[in-house]
Structure 1
Amino acid sequence: MKTKLKHLIVIMVLSLGLVSCHDDLDQSPIDPDSFTEEDVFANATEAKGALAKLYASLALTGQQGPSGQADIADIDEGFSQYSRMLFNLNELTTDHAVVGWGDAGLPDLHGQYWSGNNDFSEAMYYRLAQEVSFCNSFITNAASLTDGEVSSFIAEARFLRAFAYYNLIDLFGNVPLVTEVSTDLPQQASRTELFNFVESELLDIQGDLKPGRSNEYGRVDEVAAWALLSKLYLNAEVWTGTARYTDCVTYSNNVINSGYSININDANGNGTAYDELFLADNDTNGAQDEFIFALNFDGLRSQTYGGSTFLVHAAIGGTMDATEFGVNGGWAGLRTTKKLEEKFNYTVLTQDIQEINNALGAMSDWGIIGDGTPNGWNDPDTKMYQIGTNQFAIYAELTDGFLKFRFNNDWGTNYGDDNADLSLESDGQNIPVLAGQYYITLDLDNLTYSIENVDFNDLLETSIEGDKRAMFYTDGQNLEIEDISSFTDGYAVTKFKNIDSDGDQGVDSAGDFVDTDLPLIRLAEIYLNYAEATVRGGSGDLNLATAKINELIERANGDSSANISSGDITLDFILDERSRELYWEGQRRSDLIRYDYFTTDAYLWPFKGNSPQGTSVSNYRNLFPLPNSIITVNPNLSQNEGY
């Protein structure tokens, strides 16, 4: 959603209102170009702009992207954006990711030894609390409008508040439940009370949200409420002690039958439609049909150092070419561990230089010979390839020495260069060459030649046979991690790119900021929710679960060769499939907790528990601490156990 500046400015006024109850501060500004709550909520059209801020506060960090005029004081805008924090807390703490940067508190996350003063968990708490406050303010003020469309605006705001609380329940457990703007210090609510609130909100707003797929792209509809209920019920046993798997099946099934569809449009023709989900045109290339709730980004109009800008830049380093990802450079930070790579059944196929030569044309009787050529001065010639009438070429690796052009392995017809001027003479002088990789041409019509230095790595295309969701960069990278701070330890992940389906860069020609939208909930996840809830005892259909998982596998492989049967579906298979399908999308920590794998020794990965081989940690780390600064300010709050 694109928002007008005047609608963004108003949030500064609203923010003051959250902390002030004094009449002498409730004044209208003198500047007629300034906007107050009265202006914003004057009618439905203006209120829609304020609604945009509720969405924007999950994607952006303030009034002036990518930094400046921050929504939250005393917090770094660069790292505090919501989806960047979601990655740090839900992916970096798991087998899916490591980061080489040494910012205070960041290494603690993958090592699982964070404290109550961790800047990153604190940033997420403030970001989510801000979203709740913004939503509360909007709901209260919009309630006075009588325009019929406003009821759907309010429902969207209630969804976004419920989504914020879903995250707070997951990450922090017992937090204050606040539904109105107030200056009173809030009381702490239990996880069960918060769960019940989110559930009741989502059930209550179904009828007020727009029908499935009828809202503007980037805004939620009734299917988003069903999808969030699916996620909520899947985690109910962990969060409340009461299993709700049949409810998860019910609402997952509602989503499956809602009109959203798995993207099967292989727009760039690379053999899979999976990568289209994470390209710069994923709002139009077919991926949008799968996105139930996504954060929208634009490299010119919504700039942030979080979001997809973070995921693209931070994953580039080593020998990677940033231009292939549509950006101007890498931040050399994020990689993955071998535990993710091992979950994929795939083979990387790389062309050899012979395939490149074969593609030039038919092998000819003309060739190169000399101690600088692959065959030396001995017969036969290294054959060239005909690229046109009397035109020949070859890609070849040369050594220090000399070469000549010769016909049919016979010295009766050969050419050299007497004057070192790229012109050929019959039986001319040997041509000196240096070691390297070259593209060599021969033009018999004009008796000229060229020897151009090239890098074969730039020519050789790689492809994946098998599961094409395995999107890793391995050249110069070590699978094993000995030193987390070294970018070359751990495979790089190439999942997110700032190029579109035609290979063109996003709209920011400077290459700083990224267009790619980020799905927070997409249909593939709901397929997997349905399958897991069914296997855990919900009243689902295992055959339907199998069919839906096979949709994902067929998309990943480009055919049905790796499809499974219902007998293959176990809880561990589903967890691995979630890893293959959803890696780096902010899901992993929650999944591992649900399986009791996050803190225990039942599943280990490199540097879990700050041990190179991985070790268990105390189970209190299934929750993050409430920020110590919040505990200090509000005596009504108790810190989570262990902190």
Structure 2
Amino acid sequence: MKFIYKIFSALILANLVLVSCHNELDQFPIDPDSFTEEDVFSTADEAKGALTKLYASLALTGQQGPAGDADIDGVDEGFSQYSRMLYNLNELTTDHAVVGWGDPGLPNLHGMSWSASNDFTEAMYYRLAQEVSFCNSFIANAEALSNDSEVLSFIAEARFLRAFAYYNLIDMYANVPLTTIVSTELPEQSNRAEIFSFIENELLEIQDLLKESGSNEYGRVDKVAAWALLSRLYLNAEVWTGENRLDDCIVYSTNVINSTYQINTNDANGNGSAYDELFLADNDTNGAQNEFIFALNFDGLQSKTYGGTTFLVHASIGGTMAASNFGVNGGWAGLRTTKALVSKFDNAITATDGDGHPTDWADSRAMFYTDGQNYEIETIANTFEDGYAVTKFKNIDSEGNQGSDAGGDFVDTDLPIIRLAEIYLNYAEATAKGANGGDLNLAVSYINALRERAYGNTSGNISAGSLTPAFVLDERSRELYWEGQRRTDLIRYGQFTTADYLWPFKGNSRDGISVEDFKNLFPLPNNIIVTNPNLTQNKGY
């Protein structure tokens, strides 16, 4: 049964007494939002009710759905949802996506010309700061029930979610305040190495406090999530701390791979590929859920938002696309991709148009709509037809039925944040880069498992000689595009800001140009720099 985020008024008022967050976020980078009653939890059931808010803060945007009582002021509520901002900051800034909308600050993301006052880099910081605040408050209150073993597992989940928030903060902003208690004091700034150590130690400490692999409710994390986040952390350690931790990446990737989670090979809709099942409206039941280690749950009736997969589905539809084929009532004509992503599938082309541009592929992960769409992008703004459209996310189930919202406004499709396929790729990358403990033949078998699912046969399989770091980077692009990891991957390979890899309109140039290296980080919001003298802005801003 899907773990639905119930943040409607009755539950919130019963379990959480929250203070307004926006003014405090203006004053404190890590907002001391708190539960204001000392004994807010009297039972484990009440604590579980409050735990839903910690998950909901990443999936939804306020105290009612889909809008009207926002957690974060000062930005359109739909824009403020975590995974929508993750897409904007980690996909739209790369070769994977462009958007035609002209909302202030949005065109600057793909053009890599953002400033310290960008609405979207600010809103993501506030969302993550709020998640840390909620987690700190929950932990402080739940500890009063720590003699209950179930509550101890709740606390471990809250610590995971706090570590996950800091994983995002260290990736995007680097040197941020580290706070683990509710306080109104202006926090000091911690450096990246300190934040890294905190995340690592938290995950190591909670791994045995979290529930066993696969034993928690769908939508809640277990110990495998801690191992998976450690795998990610160690993969990026050299960028963030200067220390190569690929050996540790192998260890924790292996732990994950040997757990109960499985790559989805269930072709429930009988179209010859199990890959698309991962992104359909019934991906909580069609077999895809067995691959999801950490996912954000969405439901078109019970958890409405203009972010999440509602955003990914609607915003990807335009031109001659039929919205009914995607289980929604219309398209927002915004998101497309660049030829740089499309070209990652060049070895799988099975058909082209009159100009020689690809229109069909043997690799089922090449989920592009080409009819009436231009391969080349001449202009981004208000021209949906420039650039291929992406059909990866749909609000239909494996049998072709529309999601639960009969009106077609809101989407049921859950969004995987960490899935097993990523860990296969982490293992392969660490092995290809020479990590001790990595088995080359095993790494190739993991890559081929993903490619066999994508091709429906062994025709796309590779040999050990093909498993290079560059190949793995391209394979990550093919497997994980639009899932919020591309910017981080490109930075790890030294390709995000440099001229080593260019894509259309990188640096606001049609053919792409390099940009300043300081763009590897986003700025801290200007207003928190002004209000907290303990903070120093990231270089270049």
Same fold judged by TM-score > 0.5?
A: yes
Q: CA deviation at 1:625?
A: 0.2
CA distance in 2, matches of 1:516, 1:604: 33
**Which sits farther off after the overlay, 189-198 or 537-546?**
537-546
Q: Which residue of structure 2 aligns with residue 413 of structure 1? A: none
CA distance in 2, matches of 1:527, 1:511: 35
Q: Which structure has the larger Rg over C-alpha atoms?
A: 1
In terms of fraction of residues, the more helix-rich structure is 2
Q: Which residue of structure 2 aligns with residue 324 of structure 1? A: 325
Residue correspondence of structure 1 range 563-574 to structure 2 within 5 A: 563-574=461-472
CA distance in 2, matches of 1:617, 1:239: 20
Say whether the 8 Å CA contact 2:59–2:83 is kept in structure 1: yes
Q: Which residue of structure 2 aligns with residue 27 of structure 1? A: none
Say whether the 8 Å CA contact 1:158–1:201 is kept in structure 2: yes
Say whether the 8 Å CA contact 1:7–1:40 is kept in structure 2: no
Q: Which residue of structure 1 aligns with residue 83 of structure 2? A: 83
Paired residue for 1:493, among 390, 414, 426? 390
1:640–1:4 Cα change, 3 Å:
closer
**Corresponding letter in the other structure for 1:333:** G
Q: CA deviation at 1:224?
A: 0.1
Q: Which residue of structure 1 aligns with residue 102 of structure 2? A: 102
**Corresponding letter in the other structure for 2:471:** F
Q: Which residue of structure 2 aligns with residue 371 of structure 1? A: none
1:556–1:56 Cα change, 3 Å:
same
Q: CA deviation at 1:19?
A: 8.8
CA distance in 2, matches of 1:549, 1:129: 36
Q: CA deviation at 1:277?
A: 0.1
Say whether the 8 Å CA contact 1:4–1:49 is kept in structure 2: no
CA RMSD of aligned residues (A): 1.7
Q: Which residue of structure 1 aligns with residue 29 of structure 2? A: none
Q: CA deviation at 1:258?
A: 0.6
Q: Which residue of structure 2 aligns with residue 478 of structure 1? A: 374
1:17–1:511 Cα change, 3 Å:
closer
CA distance in 1, matches of 2:40, 2:434: 49
**1:445-465 superposed Cα distances (whole Å, 9 cap, x missing partner):** xxxxxxxxxxxxxxxxx9955
Q: CA deviation at 1:542?
A: 0.7
CA distance in 2, matches of 1:38, 1:7: 18
Residue correspondence of structure 1 range 60-209 to structure 2 within 5 A: 60-145=60-145, 146-209=147-210
Q: Does 1:541 align with 2:439?
A: yes
**Corresponding letter in the other structure for 1:216:** E
CA distance in 2, matches of 1:202, 1:318: 46
Say whether the 8 Å CA contact 1:90–1:590 is kept in structure 2: yes
CA distance in 1, matches of 2:377, 2:91: 17
Q: Does 1:469 align with 2:365?
A: yes
Q: Which residue of structure 2 aligns with residue 401 of structure 1? A: none
Q: Does 1:596 align with 2:506?
A: no
SS at match of 1:292: strand
Say whether the 8 Å CA contact 2:328–2:408 is kept in structure 1: yes
Q: CA deviation at 1:71?
A: 1.3
Q: CA deviation at 1:99?
A: 0.2
Residue correspondence of structure 1 range 210-221 to structure 2 within 5 A: 210-221=211-222
Say whether the 8 Å CA contact 1:18–1:182 is kept in structure 2: no
Q: CA deviation at 1:15?
A: 3.0
SS at match of 1:343: helix
Q: Which residue of structure 2 aligns with residue 346 of structure 1? A: 348
SS at match of 2:316: coil
SS at match of 2:417: strand
Q: Which residue of structure 1 aligns with residue 17 of structure 2? A: 13
Say whether the 8 Å CA contact 1:91–1:584 is kept in structure 2: yes
**Corresponding letter in the other structure for 1:197:** F
CA distance in 2, matches of 1:601, 1:465: 29
Q: Which residue of structure 1 aligns with residue 255 of structure 2? A: 254
Q: CA deviation at 1:74?
A: 2.6
If the length of structure 2 is used for normalisation, what is the TM-score? 0.93
Q: CA deviation at 1:111?
A: 0.3
SS at match of 2:253: helix
Q: CA deviation at 1:38?
A: 5.8
CA distance in 1, matches of 2:508, 2:47: 49
Q: Which residue of structure 1 aligns with residue 31 of structure 2? A: none
Residue correspondence of structure 1 range 163-562 to structure 2 within 5 A: 163-344=164-345, 345-347=347-349, 464-485=360-381, 486-539=383-436, 540-562=438-460
**Corresponding letter in the other structure for 2:447:** I
SS at match of 1:521: strand
**Corresponding letter in the other structure for 1:98:** V
Say whether the 8 Å CA contact 1:40–1:50 is kept in structure 2: no
Say whether the 8 Å CA contact 1:19–1:183 is kept in structure 2: no
Say whether the 8 Å CA contact 1:9–1:63 is kept in structure 2: no
CA distance in 2, matches of 1:334, 1:14: 35
Structure 1 unmatched ranges of 5 or more: 21-34, 351-461
1:19–1:466 Cα change, 3 Å:
closer
Q: CA deviation at 1:273?
A: 0.2
Q: CA deviation at 1:515?
A: 0.3
CA distance in 2, matches of 1:16, 1:78: 18
SS at match of 1:149: helix
SS at match of 1:75: coil
CA distance in 1, matches of 2:97, 2:20: 38
CA distance in 1, matches of 2:324, 2:225: 35
CA distance in 1, matches of 2:14, 2:515: 45
1:18–1:602 Cα change, 3 Å:
closer
**Which sits farther off after the overlay, 337-346 or 129-138?**
337-346
How many residue pairs were aligned?
518
Say whether the 8 Å CA contact 1:14–1:37 is kept in structure 2: no
Say whether the 8 Å CA contact 1:7–1:53 is kept in structure 2: no
Structure 2 unmatched ranges of 5 or more: 25-34, 353-357
**Which sits farther off after the overlay, 9-18 or 213-222?**
9-18
CA distance in 2, matches of 1:287, 1:306: 21
**Corresponding letter in the other structure for 2:363:** D
1:500–1:39 Cα change, 3 Å:
farther
CA distance in 1, matches of 2:21, 2:461: 56
If the length of structure 1 is used for normalisation, what is the TM-score? 0.79
Say whether the 8 Å CA contact 1:528–1:578 is kept in structure 2: yes
CA distance in 1, matches of 2:155, 2:530: 33
Q: Percent identity?
A: 73
CA distance in 1, matches of 2:87, 2:499: 23
1:205–1:50 Cα change, 3 Å:
same
1:158–1:130 Cα change, 3 Å:
same
1:184–1:261 Cα change, 3 Å:
same
Say whether the 8 Å CA contact 1:474–1:491 is kept in structure 2: yes
CA distance in 1, matches of 2:213, 2:19: 33
CA distance in 2, matches of 1:507, 1:86: 25
